[in-house]
A and B are shown apart, each in its own frame.
Chain A
Amino acid sequence: MKIRVEVTRRPEIADPQGTTIKRALHDLGHTDVTEVRVNKVFHLEVEGGSDTEIRDKVEEMCRQLLANPVLEDFEIELVP
């Protein structure tokens, strides 16, 4: 089973990389860009279990390691 996990920094936490990229886009003339946020995407392959079991397992992985609960949220998508 392929799983896509997207980890996003919460909106209230600064994203210095996003801010710098926005500035660069403005320098290139794309002044209509008002916000840039940089997320992380993980592509996992996990064996065994039902969809629910796999989702639970990946959720545990997110809470333990893939996301930092102080800063980040995550979204799990099972890829058919």
Chain B
Amino acid sequence: MTTAVVVFPGTNCEHDVVTAMTDLGGSARLVWHRKTDLDSYDSVVLPGGFAHGDALRTGAIARFSPIMEAVSRFADQGKPVVGICNGFQILCEAGLLPGALIANRDLSFICRYVDVEVTDTGTVLTNAAATGQRLRIPLNSYEGNWVDPTGEGRVVVKYTDDPNGSSERAAAVANDAGNVVGIMPHPERATDPLLGSTDGRAFLRSFLNSLVPA
């Protein structure tokens, strides 16, 4: 029951994720992006940061990192795959989630707490939350504006206001099966009272719940 936390060159939230998950009783280990197998893991987190310097488009280069084939297989097999912030952008570029993330509507880098509302609890990141539950976690991104030309993306968490222009106020989006989820704000940065909020625990608990064998 160990989660692989993938580290690309430029990733910078990997230790936050490992610490937060360990504090909640989970087990997580860092895995370098050049690895090609994830056989000893049962779930994956792509953490935030600036993988490959965000060159070209956020996530555009990272999606071709060797580890991504294994991540893609995990997604196909129904295993939990979560992308946070830059990880969300990578999952969209890889085609594992619908849509794409572009610059915030007002072209500002947003770094503040935001209030979000859980609208769909049928995913690996939201199963421990209640529908309609409001949570306060930090947003920290420039390209957080999710666009979905198909209009069919499954939005599972919404901002209560509209900080960045994201379609349907989407803060988190899932695939149809609910095992792949991308979230733009950072649950792992809201897991200790010292950080100003512990609301992020609801998301990480959901993730840990989803690892329990059926």
Could you list which residues of chain A lie within 8 angstroms of chain B, going by C-beta atoms?
10, 12-14, 16-17, 20, 65-66, 68, 70-71
Contact = CB atoms under 8 A, between A and B. Distances in A.
SS class, residues of chain A in contact with chain B: loop
Contact of B100 (A20, A66, A70): A70
Contacts of A13: 102, 147, 149
Interface residues of B, number: 20
A66 B60 CA distance: 9
Interface of B: 56-57, 60-61, 64, 92-93, 98-100, 102-107, 145, 147, 149, 165
A71 B102 contact: yes
Contacts of A68: 57, 60, 93, 100
Contact of B106 (A12, A16, A65, A70): A16
Contacts of B102: 13-14, 16, 71
A10 B148 CA distance: 12
B147 A16 contact: no
9 contacts: A14-B147, A14-B165, A16-B104, A16-B145, A16-B165, A65-B64, A68-B93, A70-B98, A70-B147
Given A17-B107, A70-B98, 20 more contacts: A10-B149, A13-B102, A13-B147, A14-B102, A14-B105, A14-B147, A16-B102, A16-B103, A16-B104, A16-B106, A16-B107, A20-B107, A68-B57, A68-B60, A70-B99, A70-B100, A70-B147, A71-B100, A71-B147, A71-B149
A12 B106 CA distance: 18
Contacts of B93: 68
Nearest to B60: A65
A66 B64 CA distance: 13
